[in-house]
Chain A
Amino acid sequence: MSKLIYLDNAATTQVYPEVVEAMKPYFTEVYGNPSSIYSFAGEAKKAVDHSRQVIADMLGAKTEEIYFTGGGSESDNWAIKAAAEAYASKGKHIITSKIEHHAVLHTCEWLEKQGFEVTYLNVDEEGTVQLEELRAAIRPDTILISIMAANNEIGTIQPLKEIGEIAKEHGILFHTDAVQAFGHIALNVDDMKIDMLSLSGHKINGPKGIGAMYIRKGVKIRSFIHGGAQERQRRAGTHNVPGIVGLGKAAEMAAAGMENRISYETSLRDHLISRVLEEIPYSRLNGHRTNRLPNNANFCFRFIEGESMLILLDQNGICASSGSACTSGSLDPSHVLLAIGLPHEIAHGSLRLTLSEQTTMEEIDFTVDKLKEIIARLRSMSPLYEDFVKKNS
């Protein structure tokens, strides 16, 4: 088997050829700076405006509420730091969850050092934020709620609409990190009462290094990058025109194909989940069984460690990821898996498989077949499994 089976689409995706084609002219032909005055630059500006329109339409936003950034992490940093600064006179309390991406968590930790207080909400065992806990965490000095739209590891989709309503009720800004959700599931900033939303290009078959932020009109946050009048003076720096065009094209394709893709990926995902749970003993699914991203499956296999599993999958041409300590570069396994209540030793044996619309049923079946062999092999070497078998024989 020499073919690559790419099941790590939550890490990044293949740039669609159509996206590359759309970008190409903006390197060598339409290379003008969209901020320039001459008509040659107008072509580039038009392209940037078109991408902005596409994204605004997808979110139910106005074009002037979309700001291009260097990616999802930049958007998260900008939203949280700038909102904290802008609303500090009102209060210094922020609410987020324990399962956010590090772009949010580490930003919040940094703010704590600057004198802000942060409440990190628990999630239930399926990874869902509890609305009662959110309500209880709100204080008079709470200025921001930042809860991700869907989790990057376990795929659980959060009740954005309900969270947005609670935020609005209390007059608190609501930011959502929608990097994994945008283009994969439907999002509407008005229905969900979202004030700020982060998104990224490379999770939806667009280029890397480009993202955007939705900022509701009236939200007073200042520029994050100073030095120019771009993006309504809120994000300086010459526009990454090819990147913006690529993001726009990818978003357009994601929106057009969303319905079909959701149903296709969901059927593959459900087949994968049921085969794994039925055929591999001592396995469990992490995240919500149904209310999860269509392309996400995340499992734990007891008695084995994730990195070993990844190496052996790689040798079979399968790209996947794990929340084990060895893959995180620290001694702790994924904070998300710990937050849903898994003990360390079980979290170490996690495997995330994230599909795309290119993934085939044959690839899923091949992966499960290989996985069975790999897990059996690693268990045969595991002292934990040996103890378990002895205890239960």
Chain B
Amino acid sequence: MYSEKVMDHFNHPRNVGEIENPSGVGTVGNAKCGDIMRMYLDIDENGIIQEAKFKTFGCGAAVATSSMATELVKGKTVQQALEVTNKAVMEALDGLPPVKVHCSLLAEEAIHAALWDYATKNHIEIEGLERPVTDIGEKEEAVEEEY
């Protein structure tokens, strides 16, 4: 069901982990529908993304799109990173099954959420960046509930 590229990124995910004191971090998705992505970015003073890391709770496609998204934004400027769309992520993975397209949307949103955090912390405005729509703040609490 998955392309070789998706399987490769699922089996050998690039850039898994956290960044301490990141320039920006964003978490999108919600546990209810089964996918959560967190992306960490380290952005230098020239606005270039030096490092990108991720953690993902989700299916094979969710892991692979997160991995590919971090690869695609590394070394890019903030503006260029904004152009890493879900389509770009999907194409780089040689496609996704139709039911998994939402995973690529999540990857795009994770990038945006991390950039939004960066912009907010530094009191700057990034042209074309809108406040990320999916916020899981309230949902995270539900996850902590004991079952």
Residues of A that sit less than 8 Å from B by CB: 284, 300, 302-308, 311, 315, 324-326, 329, 331-333, 341-346, 348, 380-388, 391
Contacts and interface: CB of A to CB of B under 8 A. Distances in A.
Nearest to B33: A331
A308 B13 contact: no
Contacts, number: 89
Interface string B13-36: 100101000000001000111111
A346 B139 CA distance: 13
B37 A383 contact: yes
B53 to A, nearest CB: 11
- Going nearest first, the 6 A-B pairs with the smallest beta carbon separation are A345-B31, A326-B59, A307-B59, A383-B38, A383-B55, A344-B32
Given A329-B99, A383-B27, A383-B57, A305 B34 contact: yes
Given A308-B10, A331-B34, A343 B145 contact: yes
B99 A382 contact: no
A382 B57 contact: yes
Given A308-B63, A345-B142, A383-B27, A326 B34 contact: yes
Which has the most chain B C-beta neighbours within 10 Å: A300, A308, A324?
A308
A381 B37 CA distance: 10
A308 B34 CA distance: 11
A333 B38 CA distance: 22
Contacts of A333: 34
Given A311-B60, A384-B57, 18 more contacts: A307-B59, A307-B60, A308-B58, A308-B59, A326-B59, A326-B99, A332-B33, A333-B34, A343-B147, A345-B32, A345-B34, A345-B139, A380-B16, A381-B16, A381-B63, A383-B56, A386-B18, A387-B143
The interface centre, meaning the residue of A326, A331, A348 with most chain B CB atoms within 10 A of its CB, is A326
The B interface, classified by DSSP as helix, strand, loop or mixed, is: mixed
A305 B11 CA distance: 15
A344 B56 contact: no
Interface in B63-111: 63, 99-100
B8 interface: no
B130 interface: no
A388 B139 CA distance: 14
Given A311-B10, A325-B33, A343-B145, A381 B55 contact: yes
A336 B56 CA distance: 25
Contacts of B147: 284, 300, 302, 341-343, 346
B144 interface: yes
A302 B145 CA distance: 11
Contacts of A348: 31, 34
Nearest to B18: A386
A307 B11 CA distance: 13
Contacts of A329: 99
Contacts of A387: 140, 143-144
Contacts of A308: 10, 58-60, 62-63
B108 to A, nearest CB: 17
A333 B58 CA distance: 12
A324 B143 CA distance: 15
Nearest to B55: A383
Nearest to B37: A383
9 contacts: A311-B60, A324-B34, A326-B58, A341-B147, A381-B57, A382-B56, A383-B38, A384-B143, A387-B140
